[in-house]
């Protein structure tokens, strides 16, 4: 059975994760990402004011946005909570991958998630809004777990399974296996200790 992190929701007085809309992003989607980081991982999260559209990351020949420069901008964007999660409506890619749902700096500061493909249905058309938001929550949690140092897991249904398709994503549960949950709990305690020693101020409006 999946377990939640050994958290006490609301225990932190300051956000540990800043959810950053990049350009025009649905406010409900941003709120859902923040709420799941709190409820599932016990990481106090807050939605920031939107940052500018990441036009600097556009790959004109592909009509997509390179996730790498976006991660750098989020990580280097000045003071703020220890972790940042960017949300964009643009289609993300990497030089060696045709698309990604999200990307993260493993044991770094930043992650980014794209909403672009999350409404797609297998047979064409779109899925219900509730399923789209569930997919968003799973990817946001998965990528922030990478930032905290967790790697891909092979335990059936664990949220840290590698998934390159929406069908694979939909098969995952909204939670971690016991081993990943234990690693997350340790990393969360470490993060709380760091945050208490070096409280951060508000972040900038954008790169």
DSSP output for 112-179? EEE-TTTTB-TTSSB--HHHHHHHHHHHHHHHHHHHTT-----STT-TTS---SHHHHHHS-SSB-HH
Hey, what are 36's tokens? 């799941």
Hey, what are 9's tokens? 């929701």
Is 143 designated active site?
A: yes
Instruction: List residues bridging with 84 in a β-sheet.
Output: 18, 110
Which residue in 18, 103, 134, 143 is the catalytic one?
A: 143
| β-sheet with 17-21: strand ranges across | 45-47, 17-21, 83-88, 110-114, 102-104
The residues carrying an active-site annotation are 143
């Amino acid at each position: 059975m999946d377990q939640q992190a050994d958290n006490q929701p609301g225990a932190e007085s300051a956000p540990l994760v800043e959810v950053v809309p990049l350009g025009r992003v649905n406010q409900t989607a941003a709120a859902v990402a923040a709420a799941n980081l709190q409820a599932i991982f016990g990481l106090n999260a807050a939605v920031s004011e939107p940052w500018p559209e990441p036009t600097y990351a556009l790959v004109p020949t592909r009509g997509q946005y390179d996730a790498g420069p976006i991660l750098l901008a989020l990580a280097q964007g000045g003071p703020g909570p220890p972790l940042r999660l960017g949300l964009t409506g643009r289609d993300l890619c990497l030089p060696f991958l045709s698309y990604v749902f999200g990307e993260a700096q493993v044991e770094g500061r930043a992650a980014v998630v794209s909403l672009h493909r999350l409404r797609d249905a297998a047979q064409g058309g779109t899925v219900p809004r509730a399923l789209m938001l569930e997919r968003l929550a799973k990817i946001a949690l998965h990528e922030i777990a990478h930032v905290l140092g967790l790697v891909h897991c092979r335990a059936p249904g664990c949220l840290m399974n590698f998934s390159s398709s929406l069908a694979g994503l939909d098969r995952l549960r909204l939670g971690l296996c016991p081993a990943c949950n234990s690693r997350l709990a340790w990393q969360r305690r470490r993060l709380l200790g760091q945050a208490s020693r070096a409280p951060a101020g508000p972040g900038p409006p954008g790169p």
